[in-house]
Amino acid sequence: MRFWASRPGTYGDEATRFQRYLAVVGVLCVLLMAAPAAAAPPLNIVALGDSLTAGHGLPLQDAFPAKLQAALQAKGKAVAIANAGVSGDTAADGLDRLDWSVPKGTDAVILELGANDALRGIDPKVTKAALGKILDKLAARHIPVLLAGMQAPRNMGADYVREFDAIYPALASTHPVVFYSFFLAGVATDPKLNQDDGMHPNPAGVDVIVKRILPSVEALIARARRAQGS
C-alpha cells in the first residue's frame, strides 16, 4: 500500500510545474506572433557630385548629404548617405573615380555632376558621354540612380545653353533613373540662398534643395528596397 500511495510533494508539484511551463510557452508564442517584423537595415546611399554635393564653404553638417540624411531619418527612413562630392569635379572626373567613390555595398546613388562642365564651357557631347558611362556602369552593378539635372549659366550663349540643358532629359529618357530635373531649382540666382560667390548654396539654400528633392529621393529609396526584395 505504501508503494501505491502518493508521496507528498511529488506528483502534485510536478503537475503544477508542467502547467506553469505550458503557460510560459503560450505567452512566448503570443509575444512572438505579436512582435513587429525586424527593421530593414539602413540603405547605403552615395551622393556622387561636385562642390554642390561636397558642401563647399559649409560645415559638414550643413552639406547636402548630411541634411538630406537628417530629413529622411526624421521621416523614419533608415538611410546612411555618404558624401562623395569633390569640389571642381567635372562629369569626366566623376567617371574616373566612380569605382572607389561608389564602393561595394552601395544600395543607391544620387548623381549630381555637370555644373563645372558648364562653367568651363566643355562640349556638352563630352559631358553627356561621361554621364552616360557612369549610368551604364551603375546599371551593370544593379544600383538604382537618381539623376539630378543641371542647367548652363544663361550667359554661355543660347546655343550652348540649349545643348547643355538637353543632356539630362535625354539621359533620363534612355536610362532607368529617377529624374530630378534641376538640382538648384528654387535656389539658383537667389542671393538670400547662396553664399557670397553667388554659386554655392548657403545653409538655407541647402534646406530648399533638400525639401524639393525629397520626394524624388523617397522614390529612389523605394526602388532600392524593391531591388533588395524588402
Q: Residue 43 — φ and ψ, nearest 5°?
A: -80, 135
Task: Say how many CA atoms lie within 13 Å of 200 toward its Cβ.
Answer: 18
Question: Hunting for cell 502534485 — which residue is that?
Answer: 12
The three-state secondary structure class of 92 is helix
Amino acid at 84: A
Q: Which sequence positions are flagged as catalytic? A: 51, 197, 200
Nearest to 173 by CA among 193, 151, 149, 155: 149
For residues 91 and 76, what is the distance between their CA atoms, to the nearest angstrom?
33
Cα→Cα distances 72→23, 27, 78, 107, 221, Å: 43, 37, 8, 15, 10
Task: Say how many CA atoms lie within 13 Å of 14 toward its Cβ.
Answer: 5
Cβ within 8 Å of residue 107, ≥6 positions away:
43, 44, 45, 143, 144, 224, 227, 228
φ/ψ bin of 156: left (φ > 0), alpha (ψ from -120 to 50), beta (otherwise): alpha
Question: Hunting for cell 537595415 — which residue is that?
Answer: 41
For the CA atoms of 200, 178, 218, 213, what is the dihedral angle to 10 degrees? 30
